[in-house]
Structure 1
Amino acid sequence: MSNTSNFRDAFRQAKTQALVGPNVIANALPYVGGGLVLTALGSYGGLGVLRTNPELFLPTFFGAIVLQLILFFVSQNVAEKGNNKVALPLLATYSLLTGYTLSGLIFVALKNQGVGIQGIGLAALGCGVTFIAARQIGSNLSEQDGMALTKTINLGVIALVAVLVVQLLFSAFGVYTPNWLEIAISGLGVFLFVGASVVDFYILPRTYKDDQYLPAALSMYLTYINLFVFILRLLIALNGRD
């Protein structure tokens, strides 16, 4: 859920409503696509570890999460300063680690007969359809509607993170979320990150200049990764967790 920090930073930096980077999203898209490809490779590697050396997965999973969090803040800071030569390999490594940490969820989806590979494909398709719709809607929002939606989604994502932290703490003590509540949380996550994808097309050109494409790419990448995760979680919950 690192997207929360990135999203709030972008909102705070949008001090004026004039476009400062009308082409920043177009410049960022190749890097968003490259990050998603690296994430897929990282997930493939994680699935390989789960299948061949499952006892190694848990310690490497937690190690990857710690390194992922460190890389997020370091790479975001470097990208914000415009040092793209340093930021790019950091973000590439971050994308690979994100894929590795997602492999556990993907493994659960593959084991679930109601989800399987078709469910993973559906989640990816949902992200693609959202991108197309969000581009049309977000690029044409009025200033008043755009700022109102940005504030609403920002507050919603903060609330979602709080719920997920509580859910994680409960699971650490062996208290697991009832299936109906998991459906509700996952559905809320899908709704919020669909909204965040619309907000990206409104706020990023008002936050970053055209040559600041890497921080913009990181924001969009995190939006669609989180959307994919929540769609997949929702599909798993709807089909019953094995």
Structure 2
Amino acid sequence: MSNTSNFRGAMREAKGLPIVGPNVISKALPFLGAGLVLTALGAYGGLGVISSNPSLFMPTFIGALIVELILFFVASSVAQQGRNSVALPLLAAYSLLSGYTLSGLIFVALGTQGVGIMGIVAAALGCGVTFIGARSIGSNLSDQDGLALSKTISIGIIALFVVILGQLLFSFFGIFTPSWLEIGISGLGVLLFVGASVVDFYILPRSYSDQQYLSVALSMYLTYINLFVFILRLLIAINSRD
């Protein structure tokens, strides 16, 4: 999931500052694309484990999730220092593990009537369309609009993940979210990360220099992975109504 503290920090750094990395997003895009490809490979591997040896998936999922979190913080710190040669393999490993941990959700989507492979493709296309629109809108935001939107999205994402944490805690006690509420939460997640994708194009060039392109790639990666997850959750919830 997206690191909201990094998001708020970037917003504070951007306030009142000129663009410090005019080319940083264009330099980050190839690495963003490569990360998404590695994520797809990791998800494919996870689906293979679920199909061939389902009892092995959960312990490997937990291990992958722990290593993924460690890699995120280490790679993020290294990338912010501009040590790109060190950060790159860490981010590649992070992307693969991220795909592996996403494979459970993708497996559920594949098994949900009305979603399936076409729903997964639709979620991916939705992310692509969002990127195109966000690039046009976010790059042309005024400082007043950009900061206002940034604050709104930041608060919304914090609230969203508090709710998701609550969902997780309740699930341990056998209390699961009703379909109508899951639809609402997932729909809110989609809206917030569409907004975050717009904010990225305003915040990131004001927060990172051109040499910190891997930090920007990681930030954008988190935005689009989360958007993909919430679109998929929404499709599953809509097609699994009681």
Query: Do the two structures share a fold, i.e. TM-score over 0.5?
Result: yes
- Partner Cα separation in structure 1 for residue 146 and residue 240 of structure 2: 37
Q: What is the aligned partner in structure 2 of residue 71 from structure 1?
A: 71
Please state if 1:158 is matched with 2:153: no
Map 1:1-242; keep pairs closer than 5 Å.
Answer: 1-240=1-240
Whether the aligned pair in 2 keeps the contact of 1:21 and 1:209 (CA below 8 Å) is yes
- Partner Cα separation in structure 2 for residue 53 and residue 9 of structure 1: 42
- Partner Cα separation in structure 2 for residue 199 and residue 123 of structure 1: 20
- Partner Cα separation in structure 2 for residue 25 and residue 18 of structure 1: 15
| 2:11 counterpart letter in structure 1 | F
- Partner Cα separation in structure 1 for residue 214 and residue 36 of structure 2: 14
Root mean square deviation of aligned Cα: 1.1
- Partner Cα separation in structure 1 for residue 114 and residue 3 of structure 2: 29
- Partner Cα separation in structure 2 for residue 30 and residue 230 of structure 1: 24
- Partner Cα separation in structure 2 for residue 155 and residue 182 of structure 1: 20
Whether the aligned pair in 2 keeps the contact of 1:10 and 1:203 (CA below 8 Å) is yes
Q: Give CA-to-partner distance per residue, 1:174-207, whole Å, 9 cap, x none.
A: 1000000000000000000000000000000000
Q: Give CA-to-partner distance per residue, 1:140-189, whole Å, 9 cap, x none.
A: 00010000000100000000010000000001111000000000000000
- Partner Cα separation in structure 2 for residue 47 and residue 241 of structure 1: 25
Whether the aligned pair in 1 keeps the contact of 2:2 and 2:226 (CA below 8 Å) is no
Percentage of identical aligned residues: 74
| 2:85 counterpart letter in structure 1 | K
Taking structure 2 as the reference length, the TM-score comes to: 0.98
Structure 1 spans left out of the alignment, 5+ residues: none
| 1:75 counterpart letter in structure 2 | A
Q: Give CA-to-partner distance per residue, 1:81-120, whole Å, 9 cap, x none.
A: 1111110000000000000000000000000121000000
SS at 2:58 equivalent: helix
- Partner Cα separation in structure 1 for residue 53 and residue 241 of structure 2: 23
Structure 2 spans left out of the alignment, 5+ residues: none
SS at 2:210 equivalent: coil
- Partner Cα separation in structure 1 for residue 3 and residue 225 of structure 2: 9
Q: Give CA-to-partner distance per residue, 1:180-239, whole Å, 9 cap, x none.
A: 000000000000000000000000000001111000000000000000000000000000
- Partner Cα separation in structure 2 for residue 90 and residue 8 of structure 1: 24
More moved, 185-194 vs 232-241: 232-241
Whether the aligned pair in 1 keeps the contact of 2:15 and 2:147 (CA below 8 Å) is no
1:241 to partner: Cα distance:
6.6
Whether the aligned pair in 2 keeps the contact of 1:79 and 1:212 (CA below 8 Å) is yes
